[in-house]
Amino acid sequence: MPLTQQQIDAYWMPFTANRDFKKQPRLVVGAEGHYYTSADGRRIYDCFSGLWCSGLGHCHPKIVAAVQRQVATLDYCMAFQMGGENSFQLAGQLAEFAPPGFNHCFFTGSGSESADTALKIALAYHRAQGNAQRNRLVGRERGYHGVNFGGISVGGIGPNRKVFNANLINNVDHLPHTLDLQHNAFSKGQPAWGAHLADELERLAALHDGGNIAAVIVEPVAGSTGILPPPVAYLQRLREICDRHGILLIFDEVITAFGRVGENFAAQRFGVMPDIITTAKGLTNGVIPMGAVLVRDGIYDAFMRGPEQLIELFHGYTYSGHPVAAAAGLATLDIYRQEGVMEQARALEAPFEQALHSLADCPHVIDIRNIGLMGAIELAPREGAPGARGLEAHKRCFWEEDIAVRNGMDILQFSPFLNAGAEDLARALEAVGRVLKTIH
Ligand SMILES: Cc1ncc(COP(=O)(O)O)c(C=O)c1O
């Protein structure tokens, strides 16, 4: 039955131009594998793995079966002072999946909750160590760490902060972002230019005294802002400066964990170990909301002191370790390990890069950049109407080419399935090329 106008009006959609969308809603009623089914019965090839989160494809039968079993066995369990058994199993398996030394995780319900949890853990850790003066946080321009107050404070996407400016949390600085089209346009993989931008952290350490800074949080590859791969040696440099000043390094891997850059975690791809890693999205293949914050051993240990009847960290969510989400997570981790997913993702990287960069000469294109299975095509904004060209491209892809492509303002973004076919991907990008040639 088609939706009524009342139903369409009733839903205040997230990060969506509601009035524009509701004139001609892009509605989906089903999904299987690499395709959505639209409400008008078309198969839509998904170029974005859901919203970065469904890298194994939609409705993976093993995850569906695990969730169905779990919801009929233990639907929910009090998360404080009790625990569902399978959330411990998932924590144990995540520790094995993670880089060595990350043997503890805190479960959340989303990436935003993971980001705020990580910031709180960092601040509380220093306090537990007797360093309560370490209360400054450092984020990065164009960074995205979700939409809660901590996340938008360390985040650096202007429109997400503007309205809330007066109420952002205190004591936050931002590093510069690393995109400069004069120096690194049309980069393939990590740009050669830009490592020196990490030295801004040294400047902040000099300004505030490094001993007052609790943590630096960055996405190893900035995703939501339009895919900014880290310049060669940039992350290493950040790590070195953090070490020099005793600052914790947090990698927000909500997008980059679980194969998006061809390894379990981006920390492994770039050979730089942070102190805290945030995750969500690919943890359950997007099937049930869940996030996890992984901490290295010394951080967890610092909390495990004092009277044993007392709560060590006054923080948690009703849905931390939710049993149905944990079942989805366990099934998802099994698939990552057993179905050669990381190998497939790595093999797809070169054909994806080639297909993406083949659009370099299309009208309006001012930059193309990629790493792993993350790619962006940046379009010049239309005079006086920023975002209009990108939105039109997104809509035309959906209605005319049967593909789902994300636009963040005028940047078209791609997040192919980890197990996508190279030919499907090439066909989808050819379709994007056709759209670009016909929009003004
Ligand atoms: C790096 C990063 N952190 C946090 C988030 C927020 O995740 P969520 O939308 O699940 O709250 C996102 C979402 O895209 C993200 O990319």
Q: Cα(146) to centroid of ligand 1, in Å?
A: 5
What's the distance, CA 422 to chain centroid? 23
Which amino acid type is present at position 44? Answer: I
Are the C-beta atoms of residues 336 and 281 closer than 8 Å to each other? no
Q: Which atom of ligand 1 is nearest to the CA of 289?
A: 10
Alpha-helical segments (H) within 138-215: 149-154, 158-162, 181-184, 200-208
Q: Which atom of ligand 1 is nearest to the CA of 252?
A: 1
Q: Packing angle between helix 323-338 and helix 341-357, nearest 10 degrees? A: 80
Beta strands in 117-243 (DSSP E): 136-140, 172-175, 213-218
The CA distance from 341 to 347, in Å, is 10
The CA distance from 62 to 416, in Å, is 20
Residues 6 or more apart in contact with residue 311 via CB below 8 angstroms: none
pLDDT at site 431: 98
Pairing label, strands 374-379, 365-371: antiparallel
Average pLDDT score over the chain:
98
As a whole number, mean pLDDT of residues 202-221 equals 98
The CA distance from 280 to 288, in Å, is 10
The CA distance from 55 to 46, in Å, is 10
The CA distance from 175 to 154, in Å, is 10
The CA distance from 258 to 269, in Å, is 11
As a whole number, mean pLDDT of residues 206-233 equals 98
Q: Which atom of ligand 1 is nearest to the CA of 222?
A: 1
Q: Cα(288) to centroid of ligand 1, in Å?
A: 15
pLDDT at site 270: 98
pLDDT tens per residue across span 357-374: 999 999 999 999 999 999
The CA distance from 223 to 254, in Å, is 9
Nearest CA to ligand 1 atom 3: 145
The torsion angle over the Cα atoms of residues 314, 316, 318 and 324, rounded to 10 degrees, is -150
- Structure token pair of residue 159: 């429109």
- How large a percentage of the chain has pLDDT more than 90? 100
The CA distance from 359 to 71, in Å, is 45
The secondary structure element, H or E, covering residue 330 is helix 323-338
pLDDT at site 384: 97
| Three-state secondary structure call for residue 402 | coil
The CA distance from 306 to 375, in Å, is 48
Name the pLDDT band for 23 (thresholds 50, 70, 90): very high
What's the distance, CA 111 to chain centroid? 7
As a whole number, mean pLDDT of residues 74-79 equals 98
Q: Cα(2) to centroid of ligand 1, in Å?
A: 31
What's the distance, CA 399 to chain centroid? 27
As a whole number, mean pLDDT of residues 97-105 equals 98
Q: With 90 as the cut, is the pLDDT of residue 10 above it?
A: yes
The CA distance from 134 to 321, in Å, is 30
- Structure token pair of residue 28: 């989906």
Name the pLDDT band for 1 (thresholds 50, 70, 90): confident
Helix/strand/coil percentages in the chain, nearest 5: 40, 15, 40
pLDDT at site 197: 98
As a whole number, mean pLDDT of residues 388-416 equals 98
pLDDT at site 324: 98
Q: Cα(153) to centroid of ligand 1, in Å?
A: 14
pLDDT tens per residue across span 327-346: 999 999 999 999 999 999 99
pLDDT tens per residue across span 274-321: 999 999 999 999 999 999 999 999 999 999 999 999 999 999 999 999
pLDDT at site 260: 98
Residues in contact with ligand 1 (CB, 6 Å cut-off): 110-112, 115, 144-146, 219, 223-224, 252, 254-255, 280
| Angle formed at CA 240 by CA 235 and CA 246, multiple of 5 degrees | 120
pLDDT tens per residue across span 34-70: 999 999 999 999 999 999 999 999 999 999 999 999 9
Q: Which atom of ligand 1 is nearest to the CA of 113?
A: 11
Q: Which domains does the chain have, with CATH numbers?
A: 5-56+342-438 (3.90.1150.10), 65-338 (3.40.640.10)
Beta strands in 274-418 (DSSP E): 276-279, 291-295, 365-371, 374-379, 403-404, 406-408, 411-414
